[in-house]
Amino acid sequence: MAIPGTATIAAPRAAATRQRQALSVLVVSTLAFTVCFMVWMMFGVIGIPLKKTLGLSATEFGLLTATPVLTGSLVRVPLGIWTDRFGGRIVMTLLMALTVPAIFLMAFATQFWHFIVIGLFVGLAGGAFSVGTPYVARWFPKNRQGFAMGVYGAGNSGAAVNKFLAPVILVAAGWTMVPQVYAAVMLGTVVLFWMFSHTDPSHVVPSNVTFADQLKALKDPKVLKYCQYYSIVFGGYVALSLWMVQYYVGEYGLDIRVAALLAACFSLPGGVLRAIGGWLSDKYGAHSVTWWVMWVSWICLFLLSYPQTDFSIQTVNGVRTFHLGLNVYAFTGLMAILGVAWAFGKASVFKYISNDYPKNIGAISGIVGLAGGLGGFILPILFGALMDLTGIRSSAFMLLYGVVWVSLVWMYFTEVRRQPVMGEAAA
């Protein structure tokens, strides 16, 4: 026989316990994703001395930096589906543990193909996004899921952590020490994650839902559109995070430590401010935030695309020569603005997903994450190929400018013509 009043007491206790577990899951998952992203972006810094040592072309350098991104992208769909079926705690723990040996072995690679092969296994760390996103989202109510996913997505700042940490280790002890330190950090993170994460059996999909059922969303044109958006706000972010250190070194002749610090002005806000993007998406709607993100990106990339130019004009007093181009301060300022815009955009795209596919977040986030990751893989290779072909470093931004154009046109015809930009939240 139940004691009167016990249900009244038990309910608040259960709610408080649930809130503590949700907060713990959010914090430890964000930490895990930050470390995974730091490892995923490792070649963006250690690739600089490797390029010189191995005598790589710009295209080969792009392939080297992008190889881990390929694996981290391809595994996102199955990882998202497994998270739906088995829960995020076990999938995230196993994923991080599997990367530790590969990270450590990177220190002993000596040839280009060694780095490519080992990089494929290190890249598994990039799949953590498709595990943590549905895992974290399901611990929060719908009206806070955008913010929760934004906080988790702030683990993208691992790209900036890599730019702060790796150059210090590299200068002090050589590039081989970087993967050894990163392997130790990843192993410690595995232990912390397992200790402070939790499992809720109600978060897994029913066993009668098949793999094929979860992939049916690929036929939905909205999913393809979200893939396009994410290919620029996340794929472009990953690509530039890998590319910017060597860009600063080549374009402005900076020391690698200074170049990494300035490159972090893009990577850091591009990761940390994702939580604000999630809050804005909860308040104003995914469409409104994404629309403005694309326009800000369009303006920034237009200015960043212009190459350093010297031109001469015949005047009445003779020939006068002028220089037109961005100095390092203007360039860094525009990159910081672009990083903020893409931080908001990464959060708003996943707000679309939590709104439209609440029962299938893992599979859909895996598909969209795959598209973004493939963008992060393909773009650095294209950056290198364009530079080898044209000799113009800013051709990388010209390419991204074109991708943004596609997103803006697609969004206009499928969303803007159907509703006012600021009307989504009110609806």
pLDDT for 126 equals 85
Position 10 in a domain: no
The answer to whether residue 347 scores a pLDDT higher than 80 is yes
Token pair, residue 353, equals: 């997903």
Position 5 in a domain: no
Q: Which residues contact 52 (CB under 8 A, 6 or more apart)?
A: none
CB 355 within 8 A of CB 427: no
* Rounded-to-integer distance, Cα 80 and Cα 204, Å: 11
Calculate the average pLDDT of the chain: 83
Which helix (H) or strand (E) segment holds residue 311: the answer is strand 309-315
Task: Tell me which of 221 and 26 has the higher pLDDT.
Answer: 26
Taking Cα atoms as reference points, which of 37, 15, 24, 142 lies closest to residue 88?
24
Position 204 in a domain: no
Task: Tell me which of 419 and 136 has the higher pLDDT.
Answer: 136
First-to-last CA distance in the chain?
Answer: 48
Residues in a beta bridge with 321: 312
For the ranges 144-158, 318-332, 333-347, 371-385, the lowest mean pLDDT is seen at: 144-158
Confidence category of residue 11, pLDDT binned at 50, 70, 90: low
Query: Average pLDDT, stretch 120-146?
Result: 84
In total, how many domains does the chain have? 1
- What CATH code is carried by the domain that includes residue 328? 1.20.1250.20
Q: How far is CA 341 from CA 15, 111, 219, 292, in A?
A: 36, 38, 29, 8
Residues in a beta bridge with 322: 311
The answer to whether residue 324 scores a pLDDT higher than 90 is no
Query: Average pLDDT, stretch 25-36?
Result: 92
DSSP H helical segments within 197-273, as ranges?
Answer: 211-215, 221-233, 235-252, 256-272
Q: What 8-state DSSP symbol labels residue 318?
A: E
The answer to whether residue 422 scores a pLDDT higher than 50 is no
pLDDT for 189 equals 94
pLDDT for 46 equals 86
pLDDT tens for each residue of 255-291: 888 888 888 888 777 767 877 888 888 888 888 899 9
Query: Average pLDDT, stretch 129-152?
Result: 82
The answer to whether residue 128 scores a pLDDT higher than 50 is yes
Q: How many CB atoms lie within 10 A of CB 420?
A: 11
Position 424 in a domain: no
Token pair, residue 285, equals: 């709607």
Position 97 in a domain: yes
Tell me which range, 216-230, 306-320, 398-412, is most confidently predicted by mean pLDDT.
Answer: 398-412
Q: For the purposes of burial, counting CB atoms within 10 Å of the CB of 355, is it exposed (0-12), middle (13-18) or buried (19 or more)? A: middle
Q: Which residues contact 210 (CB under 8 A, 6 or more apart)?
A: none
pLDDT tens for each residue of 371-404: 888 888 888 889 888 988 998 888 999 999 999 9
* Rounded-to-integer distance, Cα 65 and Cα 71, Å: 12
Range of the domain at 410: 16-197+212-418
pLDDT for 425 equals 44
Q: How far is CA 161 from CA 93, 266, 293, 409, in A?
A: 21, 12, 24, 35
pLDDT tens for each residue of 57-69: 888 888 888 888 8
* Rounded-to-integer distance, Cα 124 and Cα 271, Å: 20
SS3 324: strand
CB 100 within 8 A of CB 190: yes
* Rounded-to-integer distance, Cα 145 and Cα 307, Å: 41
| Amino acid letter, 112 | F
Which helix (H) or strand (E) segment holds residue 314: the answer is strand 309-315
SS3 407: helix
CB 116 within 8 A of CB 64: yes
The answer to whether residue 36 scores a pLDDT higher than 90 is yes
Position 425 in a domain: no
Task: Based on DSSP, count helices (H) and strands (E) in the chain, helices before strands.
Answer: 19, 2
Token pair, residue 96, equals: 């991080």
* Rounded-to-integer distance, Cα 164 and Cα 156, Å: 14
Confidence category of residue 334, pLDDT binned at 50, 70, 90: very high
* Rounded-to-integer distance, Cα 298 and Cα 185, Å: 38
Q: How far is CA 176 from CA 36, 49, 166, 234, in A?
A: 19, 11, 10, 29
Position 34 in a domain: yes
CB 373 within 8 A of CB 76: yes
pLDDT for 4 equals 54
- Percent helix, strand, coil in the chain (nearest 5)? 80, 5, 15
pLDDT for 414 equals 82
Confidence category of residue 298, pLDDT binned at 50, 70, 90: very high
Task: Tell me which of 224 and 192 has the higher pLDDT.
Answer: 192
Query: Average pLDDT, stretch 14-25?
Result: 82
pLDDT for 333 equals 93
- 308-313 — which CB contacts under 8 Å span 24+ positions? 308/251, 308/394
pLDDT for 211 equals 56
pLDDT tens for each residue of 176-221: 899 999 999 999 999 999 998 888 777 666 655 555 665 566 677 7
